[in-house]
Amino acid sequence: MISSEHPFEIIHDFVFDRTRSIRQDLSIQNIIDEHAIEMYEKMVEFHIISHLKLAKSHRDPDNSSLHYLNMEQLTKCLLSLYEIYDLNRSPEFIIKKENEFHSFYVLLHLGRKNSIMKESLSLWFRHLSSQILLSREMRFARTLLSYFRMGNYKRFFAILAMEASQLQLRLIEPFLNEVRVQALSCINHSGYKLQPYPLELLAELLMIKEHELESLCCECGLQIITDELGCKLLPAKQSNFHHPKSDLESYSLTTPVKFHR
């Protein structure tokens, strides 16, 4: 989906329309075999990659609407895929990617501004087998979501670096700024005023470049100081801290992630 001739938004619109037509054809013709599973999985992958690419230009109002529509179609694709998984479930038929693709639905519940995900996860979990719930992919997704909701940013990024697959990471990445802002809020309110936090160490922890973290701090109203050695520090207990008033730019991850797949 990378082209030097056309911007990604044009490519996305082109592929988006065709994948939607494919889904309609599969539904009308009631095609639910392993080939349908493979096609749905490819469509989910397309929407996940688009989720990340569109998020990087989310400040553009046009891309904001594209981002919402893409998330909506991603959710619909996943739910349709889960139905086909269930219809094909048998001892003779092994669905290789089922656990990972079920984990995507959990990860879509990251982010407090996500209006797409409305169904309660606790109710959704009741429909899943213990084999799926106890799989490594699902345990990772549920643990990560738990750390996000608790505001435990250290463990959030630690498990992210160790266990995320490539597709899981692409799905999670647009939500990372929200976790980083949570971390800045925690450090600012609970840190010791006379012991400012080294920005280099914090950037490493939050998987972000130091100069980008400095920019994020400014977006949150936080001031950075420099010590006598030239090291940048983040003082705690700053009264001007606030959550960013507008959408933040999407920063890339800096720490190599150990992919399992």
Domain of 127, in residue numbers: 8-173
Would 207 be classed as within a structural domain? Answer: no
Would 82 be classed as within a structural domain? Answer: yes
Would 63 be classed as within a structural domain? Answer: yes
Alpha-carbon gap, residue 261 to 245, rounded angstroms: 37
CATH code, domain carrying 162: 1.25.40.990
Tell me what the mean pLDDT of segment 107-112 comes to: 88
Tell me what the mean pLDDT of segment 116-121 comes to: 71
Phi, psi angle pair for 234, to nearest 5°:
-110, 105
Whole-number pLDDT of residue 261? 47
Alpha-carbon gap, residue 138 to 169, rounded angstroms: 14
Per-residue model confidence as pLDDT tens digits over 155-176: 999 999 999 999 999 999 989 9
Would 92 be classed as within a structural domain? Answer: yes
Would 235 be classed as within a structural domain? Answer: no
E strands, the chain, are: 197-198, 225-226, 232-234
Contact 117, 108 (CB under 8 A): yes
Contact 235, 196 (CB under 8 A): yes
Percent of the chain at pLDDT exceeding 90: 67
Alpha-carbon gap, residue 255 to 7, rounded angstroms: 28
Helices (H) and strands (E) in the chain, counts: 12, 3
Does 62 have pLDDT greater than 60? no
For residue 226, CA distances in Å to 54, 163, 196, 223 come to: 35, 35, 10, 10
Would 183 be classed as within a structural domain? Answer: no
Would 93 be classed as within a structural domain? Answer: yes
Would 242 be classed as within a structural domain? Answer: no
Provide the CA 178 distance to its chain's centre, in angstroms: 10
Max avg pLDDT among 52-56, 124-128, 182-186:
182-186
Nearest to 147 by CA among 138, 155, 135, 136: 155
Looking at the structure of the chain, the number of domains it has is 1
Nearest to 62 by CA among 5, 10, 1: 10
Confidence of residue 2 (pLDDT cuts 50, 70, 90): low
Alpha-carbon gap, residue 233 to 228, rounded angstroms: 11
Confidence of residue 23 (pLDDT cuts 50, 70, 90): very high
- Letter for the amino acid at 151? G
